Each structure stands twice: as C-alpha cells, then as structure tokens.
Amino acid sequence: MAEFEYPRQLRILTGGGFKSVFNNVTLKVPDQHILLLATPNGLSHPRIGFVISKKNVRRAVKRNRVRRIMRESFRLNQHQLPAVDILVLARPGLGELEKDELHRLAKKCWSRLRKKAQKSLK
C-alpha cells in the first residue's frame, strides 16, 4: 500500500530550491488562476513549493486555504507525479475559488503536469 505522508523531503524549503526551479524551468502548466513551474530534481520523488503573494490573494486566510488544499491534493497524488520540483504560483482570482473548485483545479493541473512530463522528460 502506498504511503500518503507529507514529510519535509516533499517540500522545497530553501531559497536556493526556489531559485533553481525559476532558473531551470522545463515544464509549465498554465491555467487562468494558477501556474505550475517544474524542473527535474534528481530525486526519486516530487517536491512542492508555493509562491502566493498578497497582490494576487489579499487575505492571509485565503492564502493559507489555497496552500492547505493544494498540499492535500499533492499528498494524495504524489505517487503519480514525476520526480520534479514544482512551484505553485498564484494568479489573481485564485483566492475567490470555492473549496471544490480548488480541488478540481489541482487535480486537473496534476494530470496536465504528468502528461507534459511524459512527453518532455523521456
């Protein structure tokens, strides 16, 4: 049975980790409310980081809700994702989405990331 944990190893924690993704983007998954940037990480698992600015999602409560829902979705889908570092960038209007809309958006983004990774990383 697969483990569905979210340990420190699945997070991008340092500025250097974020910088390496921004400088070496190989996969982009754009959407109206969100942008995923990814680059291979040389590990056996994916990692995730968030860039959710006040400019795009005003209220801290909404920024935290977006992070929480995206983290949970990532945790459940981590075994289907390729070994890449993923940055989740918020775009205007993301904080206004309802919980179920955020879940659908996350699921769609993970699916698109998998498909793009299969095409470009092979």
Spatial separation of the C-alpha atoms in residues 10 and 15, rounded to whole Å: 15
pTM: predicted TM-score of the whole model, two decimal places: 0.90
Cβ neighbour number for residue 82 with a 10 Å cutoff = 19
Instruction: Kindly state the DSSP code that residue 43 receives in the 8-state scheme.
Output: S
Domains in the chain, CATH or no CATH each: 18-120 (3.30.230.10)
**pLDDT of the chain, 122 residues: tens digit per residue:** 467 888 888 899 999 999 999 999 999 999 999 999 999 988 888 999 999 999 999 999 999 999 999 999 999 999 999 999 999 999 999 999 999 999 999 999 999 999 999 888 65
Query: Which residues are paired to 86 by β-bridges?
Result: 38, 48
pLDDT of residue 1: 46
- Could you please report the per-residue DSSP string of 75-116? HHHTTTS-SEEEEEEE-TTGGGS-HHHHHHHHHHHHHHHHHH
**Among candidate residues 92, 114, 96, 122, the one with its CA nearest the CA of residue 29:** 114
Spatial separation of the C-alpha atoms in residues 42 and 89, rounded to whole Å: 22
